[in-house]
Structure 1
Amino acid sequence: MSTSNNIADTIQNTINGKIKPLGSLGKIEQLAAQIATIQLTQSSANSLSLLNPTLLVFAGDHGIAKHNISIAPSDVTTLMVSCFLNGQAAINSFIKSTNWQLKVVDCGIQTQLPTHNSLISARLGNICGDISVEPALTETQLDKARLHSEKLLQQLDTNLIGFGEMGIGNTSPASAIFAKLFKLPVENVVGHGTGIDQQQLNNKRSLIIKAVNRVDSDQPLEILRQLGSFEIATMAFTMLEASKHNKLILVDGFIVTSAAAVALAINPSIKTNLVFAHKSNESAHGLVLEILAVEPLLDLSLRLGEGTGAALCLGLIEAAVNFYNEMASFEDLGISL
């Protein structure tokens, strides 16, 4: 590949030349092309790689959770992080027979846990602000989240990062971000989350309306600071940083998509690096994916979080890489069509 102008042609010709009807591998072909666009350069060989796929679960607690808008109290965030570290959660089950390396990023949960090989400290506090009445983060905390993301990328020897999250109440900041960023009615983006009843849902909507109405700015960074959370802010900055280093970024569900939406608003060019894993069963996720003009790989009615949807996509990514690298071409077989 001698010039940047013909890299795209080389990629498409490689895919089209495989021993198959054109387009017959559907989204796998699109995925392979996307990975190739990220990885190939003018001087590189026409070959793709996966290096130490790493799944990061970003955890944080939320001031708004004190208003009884979830089926569980905030203490459960710490409990679930402990389960991740001890191999007891859904995400651990999903990655057990895969090549994922799991790391938990403590962005600020109420109980600081002991040192663990799979735990990365990126703490911004014990709990973020209650967005219904105050900013989620101070300006100092937002700057610190950016610094943490830079440090985090320096620690990771990988070219594929999956993003997951954990935080009781975190569908609320995600919904608030979508409402403000895309100028959507709050009722269109607020759902039942973990399974709250109608009274809790009404309360949740009222709180998010208060949150959105008190923010005047339409700047993505200020929306993130005002309406986000410790883990959503850290995810957004980590995505931006990962794109600078040509990483493939695998976006999980509703909450992770809110971080991706902010990152895209800050730098639209990172879309090249983003793969959206699945369409969540959280009601507004499909609408948001349509607004972002992206198509997820899976639709399995998941709404757990933890990076579970992203975890299931590693096999598809591996298939795309192996197809690109190893499948024979008509030219290899001496066949001219």
Structure 2
Amino acid sequence: MRHYDIKPLSDQALLQAQGYIDRIAKPLGSMGRLEALAARLAAIQDTLRPELSPREHFVFAADHGIAEEDISKSPKEVTRQVVYSMLRGGAGICFLCRQHDFRLHLVDVGVDHDFGDEPGLVHRKLRHGTRSYLREAAMTQEEATKALEIGERCVDEALERGCRLLSFGEMGITNTSSSALWMYYLTDLPLEACVGRGSGLDDEGMQRKLSVLRTAVERYSGTGDAWSVLCYFGGYELVATVGAMLRAAERRTPFLVDGFIMTACVLMARSFAPAVTDYAFYGHVGDEAGHARLLRYLDAQPILNLGLRLGEGTGAICAFPILDSAARMLREMASFTTSGVTDYIGVTEG
């Protein structure tokens, strides 16, 4: 795995941005969390006039060998069915991308289906799904490296098109299990705190899921470092996302993070380059059991809390208008100098 040269945001850049925000014609701190979001955007883009257009959203899709163990309410074929729904424009992520003007890309990294020449599908298939980590590593190191490179390439191509904001989502039945295992190995939390109901398991299904994942943990004989855990328990779509996040941060581009699965990808990316989190904006806290715990572990503040758990990146795109408001505050609000408003910088309420 290559080294990612990700520069952390400088305290000086953040202070300069906050200093400008404090000179905008408003009481100090009166725009609440928009101010912190705006300061980070300004520091990332190195400008007091950050732009979030054009913007692009990538959904990485792949199947998982562990789906053979009946640990999801949804059968494996749902992955390809949802991919087709996205291609037709009828999935949840589709209307949200249309609404908020995100260019949508659907990337097949490892779906267990041959789609043929489907318009709108980016063909990057590594294999027809991963292997079952109940018996062996989900992927080889070579496959993991290629998956990272797929994510990197998607980001590079987007930035060549002039993209200023990225967002990521996923589709892959049982990928909450891979995410839970990444969380378990990369935090100090017990497995039970990391595992949730996924697509809607009942109590009996939850016990089966936990039992299978405990057995997988017992059989794992790897080193326990992040690279080993990524390869052994990961999914191609998750690893591609990790590569995309690392490359976005390396190229100083902000990106929106969706729910539990995408937050687990941030956790994994952080294990290789801690500064990646400076470029991440967390769209929401979802209903999957481990998500709130993982956000707290990362000391991350989600923008929304709407009870979402669809995936695909829907929570990230829903949060976009708030981030857009933060950027517009910097670009469009007048300062005390230019507004003709008497300086009331020390006042906290109008």
Give the TM-score normalised by the residue count of structure 1. 0.94
Moved more, 298-307 or 23-32: 23-32
Partner of 1:149: 151
Overall identity of the aligned pairs, in %: 33
1:97 to 88, 99, 107: 99
Over 3 Å counting, the alpha-carbon distance change for 1:261 and 1:139 in structure 2 is same
1:121 to 120, 123, 141: 123
Q: Please tell me whether residue 10 in structure 1 is matched to residue 16 in structure 2.
A: yes
Partner of 1:178: 183
Over 3 Å counting, the alpha-carbon distance change for 1:51 and 1:115 in structure 2 is farther
Within a 5 Å distance, the mapping from 1:195-274 to structure 2 comes to: 195-213=200-218, 214-274=220-280
Over 3 Å counting, the alpha-carbon distance change for 1:325 and 1:206 in structure 2 is same
In structure 1, the gaps of 5 or more residues are none
Q: How many Å apart are 1:120 and its aligned residue?
A: 1.7
Partner of 2:109: 107
Amino acid at match of 2:204: Q
Partner of 1:276: 282
Over 3 Å counting, the alpha-carbon distance change for 1:184 and 1:212 in structure 2 is farther
1:29 to 28, 32, 35: 35
Q: Please tell me whether residue 298 in structure 1 is matched to residue 287 in structure 2.
A: no
Match of 1:134, SS state, is: coil
Partner of 2:58: 56
Q: How many Å apart are 1:116 and its aligned residue?
A: 4.1
Over 3 Å counting, the alpha-carbon distance change for 1:49 and 1:116 in structure 2 is farther
Provide Cα deviations, 1:82-132, integer angstroms capped at 9, x if missing partner: 111111111112233221111111110011223345322222211111122
Over 3 Å counting, the alpha-carbon distance change for 1:29 and 1:229 in structure 2 is same
Match of 2:337, SS state, is: coil
CA distance in 1, matches of 2:55, 2:337: 32
Match of 1:250, SS state, is: strand
Match of 1:272, SS state, is: helix
Provide Cα deviations, 1:237-291, integer angstroms capped at 9, x if missing partner: 1111111111111110011111110001111011110111110100111111111
CA distance in 1, matches of 2:267, 2:12: 30
Partner of 1:138: 140
In structure 2, the gaps of 5 or more residues are 1-9, 345-350
Q: Which has the higher contact order (CA 8 A, sep 6+)?
A: 2
Q: How many Å apart are 1:47 and its aligned residue?
A: 1.6
CA contact (8 A) 2:284 2:306 kept: yes
CA distance in 1, matches of 2:30, 2:118: 45
Q: How many Å apart are 1:155 and its aligned residue?
A: 1.5
When the two structures are aligned, how many residues end up with a matched partner? 330
Amino acid at match of 1:244: E
Over 3 Å counting, the alpha-carbon distance change for 1:296 and 1:200 in structure 2 is same
Q: Please tell me whether residue 163 in structure 1 is matched to residue 163 in structure 2.
A: no
Match of 1:165, SS state, is: strand
CA distance in 1, matches of 2:182, 2:221: 11
CA contact (8 A) 1:159 1:246 kept: no
CA contact (8 A) 1:276 1:295 kept: yes
Amino acid at match of 2:324: E
1:190 to 185, 192, 195: 195
Give the TM-score normalised by the residue count of structure 2. 0.90
CA contact (8 A) 2:140 2:231 kept: yes
Over 3 Å counting, the alpha-carbon distance change for 1:33 and 1:118 in structure 2 is farther
1:75 to 74, 77, 102: 77
CA distance in 1, matches of 2:212, 2:126: 23
Q: How many Å apart are 1:302 and its aligned residue?
A: 0.6
Q: How many Å apart are 1:8 and its aligned residue?
A: 2.9
Q: How many Å apart are 1:175 and its aligned residue?
A: 0.6
Over 3 Å counting, the alpha-carbon distance change for 1:231 and 1:49 in structure 2 is same
CA distance in 2, matches of 1:257, 1:206: 24
CA contact (8 A) 1:215 1:223 kept: no
CA distance in 2, matches of 1:323, 1:108: 41
Q: How many Å apart are 1:33 and its aligned residue?
A: 0.9
Moved more, 251-260 or 213-222: 213-222
Partner of 1:326: 332
Match of 1:59, SS state, is: strand
Q: Please tell me whether residue 85 in structure 1 is matched to residue 87 in structure 2.
A: yes
CA contact (8 A) 1:279 1:300 kept: yes
CA RMSD in angstroms comes to 1.6
Match of 2:264, SS state, is: helix
CA distance in 2, matches of 1:53, 1:280: 23
